[in-house]
Amino acid sequence: MRVIDSHIHFPEDKIIDDGKARGASSGTGYTSGRSPSAAPGAGGAGQGSPTRSRPEAWLDTEKARWEAAWRFPPAIKVSLEEGERLWDAELDKYEYLKAVVFVTAGGNGFASELAARHPGRFLAYAHHDPELPDAPERLEKAVKKGGLKGYKILAPKVSKPLSDPSFDPLWECAQSLGIPILFHFGIMGGAGGIASQININPLAIHDTAKRFPRIPIIVPHFGCGYVFETLNLCWACPNVSIDTSGSNQWMRWMPYDVTLESLFRKYRETIGPSRILFGTDSSWFPRGFTQAYLDVQVRAMADVGYSEDERDQVLFRNAAALLGFREPAP
Ligand SMILES: [Zn+2]
């Protein structure tokens, strides 16, 4: 087995490069999104009627429940150097893990440094705010000078519709650079996150995907709740792929039953195995590379009849082709 994890985050809270210099506290973050008081046994949630007196206690309980379900250890804070060293060690630890793709790393500059220091092992995306006036120039610099391989955009954080003509120079730039754009759609941040926003639905990118048919577009997390919309988008736009990353806990708040098996089956039926990319959405330590997500996804693919060749496409070849990845000579 060989694997490219096409969707991970450097362990840092800053997930959009806002164009401002890195703050003094950056590089030491990533808290996995929940407050320390939510740690199991910390009190608060679960005692008496916390949801009546303190509604946010429910959110803490939900976030802690997700981590407990996967038996994840509590997150630790790491420095930039430590985060880099730990991710490098993860690739040594899992011999099948050939490369990881940092879709965010606290800024394009640091993402470029990471990729340059670990050629053939770390790949990275630009992740600056697409509403910055010089967003196209930043993208060109990040790719041509910084060696970045793609562009990550959090759609529910973009205030104008993605189809707004003011974004055209940015899409033109991406298309001429030949890089993929990964757009997060759907709820952001799990319980308590953003569930409604002008760009939350994957169909928000439909017009752009049609007008820029040579931009490879990746919709992560199987569409993160928007399964119908993502399948329709993929059906209408052959330049759209999906990734499988994350715990996909959104399956829990669907109005009908969804399983990893049903997702792998349905997406293969609709668009085939060549447009499905494996990812974990891993970030913080000591968890590191989330092998548990790989295990359940490999099993789901096997259970619904993916051949070994099809699994190799999803786990390795599709990302390798999209990102121009070549394994370094031994
Ligand atoms: Zn992610």
For residues 183 and 161, is the Cβ–Cβ distance under 8 A?
A: no
pLDDT for 36: 46
Residue 28 has pLDDT above 70, yes or no: no
Amino acid making up residue 312: D
How much is the average pLDDT of 89-110?
96
Token couple for 309: 């060749």
Tell me the C-alpha distance between 237 and 231, whole Å.
10
Distance 307 CA to ligand 1 centre (A): 27
Distance 156 CA to ligand 1 centre (A): 13
Distance 151 CA to ligand 1 centre (A): 12
pLDDT for 314: 98
Distance 314 CA to ligand 1 centre (A): 18
User: CA neighbours within 13 Å on the CB side: how many for 6?
Assistant: 35
Distance 47 CA to ligand 1 centre (A): 33
191 vs 82, more confident? 82
pLDDT for 40: 44
Distance 8 CA to ligand 1 centre (A): 6
Residue 33 has pLDDT above 50, yes or no: no
Distance 133 CA to ligand 1 centre (A): 25
Distance 144 CA to ligand 1 centre (A): 24
Distance 6 CA to ligand 1 centre (A): 10
Distance 330 CA to ligand 1 centre (A): 30
Q: What is the DSSP string of 286-323?
A: TT-S-HHHHHHHHHHHHHTT--HHHHHIIIIIHHHHHH
Distance 7 CA to ligand 1 centre (A): 6
Distance 283 CA to ligand 1 centre (A): 8
pLDDT for 328: 75
- Mean pLDDT value across the chain: 90
Distance 53 CA to ligand 1 centre (A): 33
Distance 178 CA to ligand 1 centre (A): 22
pLDDT for 311: 98
Distance 108 CA to ligand 1 centre (A): 16
Among 42-56, 108-122, 149-163, name the one with the lowest average pLDDT: 42-56
Distance 160 CA to ligand 1 centre (A): 21
Distance 232 CA to ligand 1 centre (A): 22
**Residue 45: which pLDDT band, with cuts at 50, 70 and 90?**
very low
Among 37-41, 247-251, 256-260, 279-283, name the one with the lowest average pLDDT: 37-41
Tell me the C-alpha distance between 306 and 321, whole Å.
20
Distance 24 CA to ligand 1 centre (A): 24
Distance 198 CA to ligand 1 centre (A): 20
Q: In order of start, what are the domains of the chain with their CATH numbers? A: 3-23+75-323 (3.20.20.140)
C-alpha distances in angstroms, 137 versus 140, 155, 216, 265?
A: 5, 20, 19, 40
Q: Which residues surround ligand 1, an ion (CB under 5 A)?
A: 281
Token couple for 24: 């003094």
Distance 18 CA to ligand 1 centre (A): 17
pTM: 0.92
pLDDT for 2: 97
How much is the average pLDDT of 311-318?
98
